[in-house]
Structure 1
């Protein structure tokens, strides 16, 4: 079964700011109905409702690490659009910035940092997937897209906690694809490098961006808008036979 993006109800976790905002906007531009999830960025989330109207956008607060929050969010989305969520983008990033100079080294990092990132990336994706499964199974259609990082393949900056959590999320993406394929649900990951620019990458020095740009075949750093286009692909009918895959979108810097 292939469903056009314009017919989908899309939940973007962390969809009000940074990369998430670009993903929300990309789906809205294609005619989808979008649930813009936020934890603290209520004003930014409500701005989507103001711009696109309640018929197209719905702003819902939820902490994706709290299962009951996610269940309530999915129910609120169904009530708002009178339709189940058919597409999920697990994008939420829990309190992390890309600042290589300030990162915790292996000598100083504690498990609490890992636990925070695992809860955000892995538990958040698991909670969201579980909450939308009934609606996807009833519809006989579902698209789940997780957001990863090329640091798993190329840890040029050793963000230990963040990268380990994203590696675990890639494993979960692939096991979910095997489990949910018979239900008509695909599960894929889009992995980026440093994006120019998001809230999380704003602390990165310009020299680092320039170094990355010089190392890519395209000689530039990928933008959040370009990254969001790749997310659209996995939700589109053109990706109906693709599941369990990790697409690296970083201008050709890393070959997966």
Structure 2
């Protein structure tokens, strides 16, 4: 039967982590929200919102009524970001990725969006080659690094910070298994993510040099390691962090001559 694309059906939200698990190496999968117990519930909430109020668009490709692949696109102001795309192993190489990508491209043209962004893992050479073939260009590389909190044994100066949106984060974490809250220190403001009971997620490289922040995070949960997204810059490669993987941020400018075969 010919593959058909539609908005992701509510009944299939719990399949997304299982599909993604077939693609990601185990140690990378554990660093993502897909590995969290409530990810399906999170997507349920997003799909229950009026479409025009939600920045995420979930599409599924179905064969004989069964989900074989999906994509999540995020409409962020004047850009469109391909946040996730994955196809079941037995259905790869059959053009399903093209179907999902074209759907996003149609959306971008409909709403006058001029650029599409995405992240692709550095080990996924096949995807990189395909994206570059249709016009994507690499902007920068990011390393995914993990390590223990190096300031756990320092004198406690964690009183010199302020938590914001923490009660809401606690409630969200119980429901979804992941969450985020804000921390203000003398150095700057941060958004801190949490993945399961395992990691604090730090997207700002300056966080690993902010002793007050790391001491505060240790007080919140002494058992959590840190997951840090580091730019491709050797001076920021801290010795206490171990590299798990890397990813490239890519950009495509949309024009009327763009053709996806």
Please say whether Structure 1 and Structure 2 have the same fold, judged by a TM-score greater than 0.5.
Answer: no
Larger Rg: 2
Instruction: Name whichever structure is richer in helix by fraction.
Output: 1
Give the TM-score, by structure 1 length. Answer: 0.29
Instruction: Name whichever structure is richer in strand by fraction.
Output: 2
Give the TM-score, by structure 2 length. Answer: 0.29
